[in-house]
Amino acid sequence: MGKRKVKKAAGTPIQTPCARCPLRRLPTFRKFTPEEVEFIAAFKSGELRLEAGNTIFSEGTNSPHLYTVLSGWTFKYKALEDGRRQIVNYALPGDFIGLQASILDSIGHSIEALSDVVLCVFPREKLWPLFERHAGLAFDVTWLAAREENILGDYLVSIGRRTAAERVAFILLNLFQRARQSGLTRGNTVDFPFTQEHLADTAGFSLVHTNKTLKRLRASGLFKWNAASFEMVDEERMTEFVGLATPDEVVRPFL
């Protein structure tokens, strides 16, 4: 882990107040009633800032907290004893992480900060009052769980049935679109914080084969990806190459 210069003001950390949550301004996220915002503000117990590379959850663990990503990227993965690793999904700003640890009793995967991140922290024991007093928010939590299932299903088809090129293209497209929803794009450009090795562990390929697939894919001109900077050149053709329909704009909840 590289040491970075972290300048921190001494004293109390500055927290983002929920009422002025920057994510709420994005068109992606649904509007809340004042009571809901108030409840969420009370639900939130703090913020957690972590540098890239830190582990947030370990597989099999339990935790007194659950989180929402406020800024930065995280990814969740499962590892086999001999070192093989499969990345299961990513979480971007607005996404929930650690729900499994709160609902089931232990989490089935590890979660790691992919970039420097800021997480909103919620105490686990207040999840129950949320279900009791705010059916709307409870429904939102379920919505997010269903969405997660949906994404994993998409990844499953990709890994199981798509060719190498389709598979890699699918992942890049998916992450680009989700980054856009989370307000991380400028025009057709994003900074992708992950390496080819992450991509390989997401696609279920070796690093070498991922690299060669990328080379062929780049030649198609659908996108550019140098260093961290990813540019989507022809989203439409990319979408149809992967065999998907153009996604409709969703308005979704988050906490």
Question: Binding residues for a copy of itself, per CB under 8 A?
Answer: 76, 78, 80-81, 84-86, 88, 99-100, 103-104, 108-109, 128, 131-132, 135, 138-139, 141-143, 145-150, 152-157, 159-162, 201, 203-204, 243
Q: How far is the CB of 151 from DNA (least distance, A)?
A: 22
Which residue among 15, 61, 163, 229 contacts DNA (CB under 7 A)? 163
Strand partners, 96: 68
Which residue among 51, 211, 235, 244 contacts DNA (CB under 7 A)? 211
> Which pair of structure tokens corresponds to residue 211?
């690299």
- Select from DNA, a copy of itself, none the partner in contact with residue 99, using the beta carbon and a kind-dependent cut-off of 5 to 8 Å: a copy of itself
- Select from DNA, a copy of itself, none the partner in contact with residue 209, using the beta carbon and a kind-dependent cut-off of 5 to 8 Å: DNA
Q: Where are the alpha helices (DSSP H) in the chain?
A: 34-43, 99-103, 127-133, 135-161, 164-181, 196-203, 207-219, 235-242
- Select from DNA, a copy of itself, none the partner in contact with residue 215, using the beta carbon and a kind-dependent cut-off of 5 to 8 Å: DNA
Q: How far is the CB of 123 from DNA (least distance, A)?
A: 33
> Which pair of structure tokens corresponds to residue 247?
């996604």
Count of residues engaged in binding DNA, rule: CB under 7 A: 19
- Select from a copy of itself, DNA, none the partner in contact with residue 143, using the beta carbon and a kind-dependent cut-off of 5 to 8 Å: a copy of itself
By CB under 7 A, tell whether 2 contacts DNA.
Answer: yes
CB 207 within 8 A of CB 197: yes
- Select from a copy of itself, DNA, none the partner in contact with residue 153, using the beta carbon and a kind-dependent cut-off of 5 to 8 Å: a copy of itself
CB 222 within 8 A of CB 237: yes
CB 194 within 8 A of CB 227: no
By CB under 7 A, tell whether 207 contacts DNA.
Answer: yes
Q: How far is the CB of 210 from DNA (least distance, A)?
A: 7
- Select from DNA, a copy of itself, none the partner in contact with residue 124, using the beta carbon and a kind-dependent cut-off of 5 to 8 Å: none
Distance CA 244, CA 229 (A): 24
User: What is the separation of C-alpha 69 from the centre of its chain, rounded to a whole number of angstroms?
Assistant: 8
- E strand segments, 159-242: 189-191, 223-226, 229-232
Nearer CB in complex with DNA: 137/203: 203
Beta sheet of 46-50, edge-to-edge order? 46-50, 117-123, 65-71, 96-97
Q: Which amino acid is at 251?
A: V
> Which pair of structure tokens corresponds to residue 153?
């299903």
Q: Where does residue 112 fall: left (phi above 0), alpha (psi -120 to 50 degrees), or beta otherwise?
A: beta
- Select from a copy of itself, DNA, none the partner in contact with residue 155, using the beta carbon and a kind-dependent cut-off of 5 to 8 Å: a copy of itself
Q: How far is CA 177 from CA 24, 54, 144, 161, in A?
A: 18, 25, 17, 21
By CB under 7 A, tell whether 7 contacts DNA.
Answer: no
Residues that bind DNA (CB under 7 A): 2-3, 163-164, 195-197, 204-215
